[in-house]
Amino acid sequence: MVLIIGGKYQGKHDFASEHFENARVIDIDELMLSEEGVQELNGKSPFGSDFDSDRKNIVIIAEENASGIVPADTALIQKREAYNRRLTAISKEADEVYRVFCGIGMKIK
């Protein structure tokens, strides 16, 4: 499994399609930031039943939000913390992790 992180509009999808042509690309931002998604992520895999058997061909794309302004709303803070905890867990499981900035990917794991 490969994890690609980066800010909004930094070229994560283009990087994934250029470097991992045959992979199943999963963009998890909307799922992880939704109320249902956070609950689902706390209990089971949101990636489908074939995730464990097909991990080598999966690229997960996620927005990096660690360097932004912290929201004033407590509920948004909790969602963001859950999101970042899940990204931390995914990065530990990932075979490779890339950070994309201005369309340039840097391997960080």
Q: Tell me, what CATH number does 69's domain have?
A: 3.40.50.300
Residues with Cβ within 8 Å of 77's Cβ and at least 6 positions away in sequence, in order, are 70, 71
Measured at the CA of 32, the angle between CA 63 and CA 4, to 5 degrees, comes to 35
Q: Using the predicted structure, report yes or no on whether residue 5 has a pLDDT greater than 90.
A: yes
Q: Counting beta carbons within 10 angstroms of the beta carbon of residue 40, is it exposed (0 to 12), middle (13 to 18) or buried (19 or more)? A: middle
Number of independent structural domains in the chain: 1
pLDDT band at 102 (very low <50, low <70, confident <90, very high): very high
How does pLDDT run across 49-77, given as a tens digit for each residue? 555 566 778 899 998 876 667 778 888 88
How does pLDDT run across 7-19, given as a tens digit for each residue? 889 999 999 999 9
Q: Are 50 and 26 in contact (CB under 8 A)?
A: no
How does pLDDT run across 29-55, given as a tens digit for each residue? 766 656 555 555 555 555 555 555 667
Segment 76-95 shows an average pLDDT of 84
Beta-bridged to residue 104, according to DSSP, are: 101
pTM of the model: 0.78
pLDDT for position 97: 96
- By residue range, what is the domain housing residue 47? 2-107
